[in-house]
Chains A and B, each alone.
Chain A
Amino acid sequence: MTRVDDGTTSTGRAPAVEPVAPGEWRIARWTPESRVGVVAALVGLGVLATLPDWGSSSDMATVVEIMALLALAQMWNLLAGFAGLVSIGQQAFIGTGAYALLVLADDHGVDPFVAVWLAALVAAALSVPIGVLAFRLRGGYFAIGTWVIAQVVFLMVTNNTALGGGSGRSLLSLGDYDRITREDYTLYTALVAGAGAVAIVVLVLRSRLGLALRAIRDDEGGARGAGVDVYRARLAVWVIAAGWTGLAGGVIYLQRLNVQPTSAFSVQWTAFMIFIVVIGGLGSTTGPIIGTLVFWILRDQLTDLGEWYLIVLGAIAIVMAILAPKGIYGLLNRIRPFQLFPVQRRLRPRRRVKARSAS
C-alpha cells in the first residue's frame, strides 16, 4: 500500500531515468502542457487587450476587477503557498497603493497611470518595516499580527484629515482623461497587473529564490544548514508580494475612483484572496487562476443572496482546506497531472545538444 508523496509544490510523476555518463544532465522545466499553457495565456491576453474595440464599459470593468483579484490572489499564494507566510493583513498594501496613488496623482501632479506604478513602490517600501516587525511572530500569530499592523495603517490614515479622514477622497486627476481613454488605460494596466502577477510568480519559482523557498518549505532547518538565508528569502518574497498587491490596489481604485479607508483597508480583500487561493489551489501557479474564475462565477450567481455568498464561500473554503488542501487544481492533478507553466525542475539526461537547455 504505497502512496505517492506529493508534499512538494510541483507535480508530476518521476520520469524513468536511464543511466547516462556524468555531465550529461540538464534541468527540464517545460512540459508539453506548459508550452500549450503559456501560448494559450498569451493569446488570451492578446484577446483581452482588444476588448476596447468590441467590449462594453461594463465588460471592461469586469475584466479589470478580475485581473486585480487575480493579481491579489497570485501574490497571496506566493506568500502562503510558496513561502509559508499566511498574511491576513494584505489589505494594508491595497490601501497603501490606493492612497499613494491618490497623493501622487492629485497632490503632486503625477499622471495617474504612472502614479499607480510608483504607488506599488511605496507599498513595497512600507512592507519592509512591517515585515521586520511581523517576522518576529510565527504561524497563526504572524497571521493575526499582520492583521493588527493593517489596522494600524488604517487607523493612521483615518485619523489623517489631509487624506480625507474617515470619508476618504476621490481621484480627481482622473477627470483629466475622457472616459473612453481612462477606461482603456485602466484596462491595460489591469491586464499587466494580472498577467504580470502570474509572470512574477513563475519567474520567482524559476529563480534561485524559488529554489530556496521550496527548500525552506520542505525542511527549514535543512535549508539553513545548506546555506539558505531563510530570513532574507522570506523578506524578499514579502516585499515583492506587497509591491504588486499595492499595484493591484491602485488598479482597483483607478476603476472605483473614490478611495474610502474602510473599504480600501477592509480585511474582506484578504478574505477574497484566501478563498480564491484555497478553492483554486494553494501552492500552484494555476490554482489562483482557477480560483479567480470560480470566485467570479460564484459571486455572480449568489449576488441575490446577500450575506449568504460569503457564508457559502467560507464554507467551501473550510471544507476544501481540510479535504482538498491543494484545491481544484490539486483534484484535477490527481486525475491527470499537468503543469500549465514551466516552473518545475526535473533532472533529465542531456540526449541531444540543444540551444534551449538547462537554465
Chain B
Amino acid sequence: MTALLELDGVDAHYGQLQALFGVDLAVEQGETVAMIGANGAGKTTVLHTIAGAQRPSRGTVRFAGVPLDGVRADRRVGLGIVLVPEGRRLFPSLTVEENLLVGAHRRRRGPWNVARVVELFPSLDRLRDRRAAYLSGGEQQAVAIGRALMANPRLLLLDEVSLGLAPVVVKQLYAALPGVVAEGVTLVVVEQDIGQALSVARHVTCLLEGRVSLRGRPDELTRDRITAAYFGM
C-alpha cells in the first residue's frame, strides 16, 4: 500500500541557506507521526514543503502517490492537505466564527463544520463573535486547529501547537486530537515538547540541522538515543 505522504530526498533552501538535506519521510494513512528536533532543525520547513509554502530545491513530495510539484498551497487544501501554522496565524480582524468559515473556503466533503469544531473545543462556544486578535494563546490555538479541520483534511499538519502555552492548555489541546484521528485524519505533529509528541505518535522522526537523525516507534527509542539525536551528541 502506498503511503499517504512521501518525501523523497527533499532539499530546501532559503536563498543561499540550505535548510533541508535529503529528507525522506513516509506517513501511512491514518497514522499519527511526530517530528521532533531543536529550534532551527528544519521541522517547520518540512511541513511547509508538504503544505506548499516552500518549494523543494531537490526531491519530491508525493501525496497518495501523486507528486505535488507545482501544485500551489491553496490547491493542496483542496486535495486534503491542511497546515496549522506555527504561531497560529489567525486572521486578526476576523471573528472566531469567521476564521473557522475561512477554513472552509475550499473544503472537501466531510463531517467538519462550525458546530462540530465547537463540540471539540467547547470553550469556543462563547467566543464565536470575538475578534481573533483578542483571544488568549490557548484559545487561538484551538481556533487554528478548528479552522484547519473545517476543510475536512485527509492530512493535518500541526506545527508547534504547544509553543508558548501553559502545560495544562497543551494537555487539553492534545486531548482533542483522538477525536480528530477517529475521523480517519492522518496527523503529522511537529513538536518541541518531546513528551507530548511521543505520547500521541505511532512513529517519530528526529531532525538535526536539516537531516533526519533518528527514526522509530516511541517504545523502541530510549531516552538517551533521543537526546543524542536531538542535540547531535
Contacts and interface: CB of A to CB of B under 8 A. Distances in A.
B16 A5 contact: yes
B13 interface: yes
A2 B58 CA distance: 12
A13 to B, nearest CB: 13
A4 B16 CA distance: 7
Contacts, number: 10
A133 B86 CA distance: 40
Contacts of B57: 1
Nearest to A2: B16
A3 B15 CA distance: 7
Interface in A1-15: 1-5
A72 B73 CA distance: 45
Interface string B41-64: 000000000000000011000000
A40 B39 CA distance: 54
A5 B17 CA distance: 11
Nearest to B15: A5
Nearest to A1: B57
Contacts of A3: 15-16
A293 to B, nearest CB: 34
Contacts of B15: 3, 5
A4 B58 CA distance: 18
Nearest to B57: A1
A185 B224 CA distance: 85
A1 B13 contact: yes
Contacts of A5: 15-16
A110 B57 CA distance: 67
Interface string B1-44: 00000000000010110000000000000000000000000000
Interface centre among A2, A3, A4, A5 (most CB of B within 10 A): A2
Contacts of A2: 13, 16
A14 to B, nearest CB: 11
Contacts of B58: 1
Nearest to B16: A2
Contacts of B16: 2-5
B225 to A, nearest CB: 34
Nearest to B11: A1
A53 B15 CA distance: 56
Interface string A1-35: 11111000000000000000000000000000000
A5 B14 CA distance: 11
A1 B15 CA distance: 9
A5 B58 CA distance: 20
A3 B13 CA distance: 10
A242 B138 CA distance: 53
A154 to B, nearest CB: 39
Interface string A118-129: 000000000000
Nearest to B17: A2
A4 B13 CA distance: 13
Interface in A151-177: none
A1 B58 CA distance: 9
B156 to A, nearest CB: 30
Contacts of A1: 13, 57-58
Nearest to B58: A1
Interface of B: 13, 15-16, 57-58
7 contacts: A1-B57, A1-B58, A2-B13, A2-B16, A3-B15, A5-B15, A5-B16
Given A1-B57, A5-B16, 8 more contacts: A1-B13, A1-B58, A2-B13, A2-B16, A3-B15, A3-B16, A4-B16, A5-B15
User: Which 8 interchain pairs have the tightest Cβ spacing?
Assistant: A1-B57, A2-B16, A5-B15, A5-B16, A2-B13, A1-B13, A3-B15, A3-B16
